[in-house]
Amino acid sequence: MKAIQITELGGPEKLTLVDVDRPEPGAGQVLVKIEAAGLNFIDTYQRAGLYPIELPFTLGMEGGGTVAAVGPEVTGFAVGDNVAYAMTPGSYAEYNLVLAAILIKVPDGVSNRDAAAVMLQGMTAHYLAHSTFTLEPGDTCLVHAGAGGVGRLLIQMAKNIGATVFATVGTEEKAEIARECGADATILYDQVNFQEEVMRLTNGEGVEVAYDSVAKATWERSLHSLKERGMLVLYGNASGPAPAIDPLLLSTSGSLFLTRPTLGNYVSTRDALEWRAGDILKWVQDGSLKLRTEIDFPLAEAADAHRALEGRKTTGKVLIIP
């Protein structure tokens, strides 16, 4: 079968199309024939070495497709089932072995392609809005990269809850996308100081929570965009990791909270996984969560997909198609 592997860390040029043996499922495993793999920033972090991996490595933490084979001790799945998953590597391939414990059946009315596009980013937005800082009607939040994968979904979830959303974006085109998702105000960060704009929009109070996936370039102004006892949620590193932060800064800035969550800790039980995945797939099914799958790249062009994502040339979910 065809797969994309890396044998050394570095840029997109390190992604190589190779022929490998099709694996056979062992105990508790399911072999999934991949219809689409979702591209996520975590793929670029692993490729570059920001997140440790063992080489050689097949990238891709999210996928959707059909069950091709079932290993011993697996119940609840059969050959031909439509399934999707996140948080297991190997999706940049024609087939991938996935533990049945983290596999989700795709409901009728949702395509495997859409499921692949929403599992990782959708569950990320879900835990951010429903667990890390549990938004309530009337809350105000700042969402960075409002036209990005998580940003678009997070804006929609926040608005469905009844929160007010301020979204930062890089271009007027992306601002329009964020507004289509429901953002109450969009801030072009290259043109204005987003901290000053947030304070203007909130009459000097600040927001309850800032969801920051950019980190290095934004964390300090995000922190100072919060109201007293607000929370800064750093959940990504698009501009590089945030530096070490003196805890006294949280005290002197209004008894603030700071957290650096990751999806794995929010889907660490089967109940939590089924709750989050079940919600997002149901919302896709009924139309209350709208997806934007803008670009498909063939498996052989995975390096170009990485370049497009890191170059901020995308405004929708990017899929890699085996």
- 292-303 per-position pLDDT tens digit: 987 899 999 999
Question: 202-206, 262-266, 276-280, 315-319: lowest mean pLDDT where?
Answer: 315-319
Q: Whole-angstrom Cα distance, residue 258 to residue 11?
A: 31
Query: Mean pLDDT, the chain, as a whole number?
Result: 96
Set out the domains of the chain in order of their start, with CATH numbers.
2-120+267-321 (3.90.180.10), 136-260 (3.40.50.720)
DSSP string, 256-274: -EEE---GGGGS-SHHHHH
Q: Are strands 95-99 and 104-105 parallel, antiparallel or unpaired?
A: unpaired
Mind listing the pLDDT tens digit for each residue in 221-233?
999 999 999 999 9
pLDDT at 316: 75
pLDDT at 38: 96
Whole-number pLDDT of residue 30: 98
The rounded distance, in Å, linking the Cα atoms of 74 and 316 is: 35
What is the per-residue pLDDT for 313?
A: 76
> Is the pLDDT at 66 greater than 80, yes or no?
yes
Q: Using one digit for the tens of pLDDT, what is the confidence trace for 4-58?
A: 999 999 999 999 999 999 999 999 999 999 999 999 989 999 999 989 999 999 9
pLDDT in the model for residue 124 = 97
Q: Which helix (H) or strand (E) holds 36?
A: strand 29-38
Instruction: Provide the whole-model pTM.
Output: 0.93
The pair of structure tokens assigned to 293 is 């799958």
